Amino acid sequence: MPVKIALITGGSAGIGLAVARKLVAEGTRVALVARTERTLREAAAGLSGLAEIFPLDVKDLPAVAALPARVVAQMGALDIVVNNAGLNHRGAMLTHEALDLADVVTTNLTAPVVLCRAAAPLIQPGGCIVNVASLAGMVPVRFQATYGASKAGLRAFSRGIRQELRERRISVSVVSPGPVDTGFFGEDLEKVPDIVFSQPISTAEEIADAVLACIRDGHEELAVPWLSGKLCTLGYLSPGLLGLLRPAMERKGARAKRAYIERKRAR
């Protein structure tokens, strides 16, 4: 049986690297994509010789459009695409330059659209696309409005092309995590909205398990944690109820954030 080939953006650390490790453990070869060649090489070194690296910034859209063909030329085929690269500029919209906010949309939405379009004709029948969105794409969150909008767009795009690509026997799935304990929080944890920490924090491995479940079973969307996904759906359907719950959730989140910061400082 031919070895499967998976292309993973944001593959040098966090969720992307956790997905790569789990796929490699099953015998899949992986094409790791990230901006920094050094970190890609370090990631690939621990993947049993089953990883090849493709350094690029996903904001370079012509390079993204050419990427699937490069992977096929270098690795022989393409079966799985995982759009995981992400960018977030937290804080009030007016504290950021307009083009910095545009970079968030380019990274989180435009680049996955380009990659899906370029990859779809090359993905083997029975293959799949998994796009990593966010619970922030299910309900609006102040101080990360652009990030939430980009992830909402990614969810809508994924669901639309899921219907289009069914006849090609390509499944399209979305994984929508809540807060994840990776470097994506960045150094300035104070800028992370309190309400984010009102939900349980997942590990990169837990999100990777959801990605692999989508690869195996073709789920339309998996939210992690499951209960947080249901809460977001309820908040979307009933904004008034969410407004009533928000103050208590923010207080809970503020306490959890302080505890998280203290744990990080103690390490």
Active-site residue list: 147
Other Cβ atoms less than 10 A from the Cβ of 266: the count is 6
CA 175 from centre of chain: 7
Residue 55: φ, ψ to 5°: -70, 120
Strand arrangement of the beta sheet that strand 128-132 belongs to: 51-55, 29-34, 5-9, 80-83, 128-132, 171-177, 221-224
- Contact (Cβ atoms closer than 8 angstroms) between residue 85 and residue 107: yes
Distances (CA, A) of 62 to 56, 67, 115, 207, 216: 11, 9, 10, 29, 30
What is the distance of C-alpha 173 from the center of its chain?
A: 11
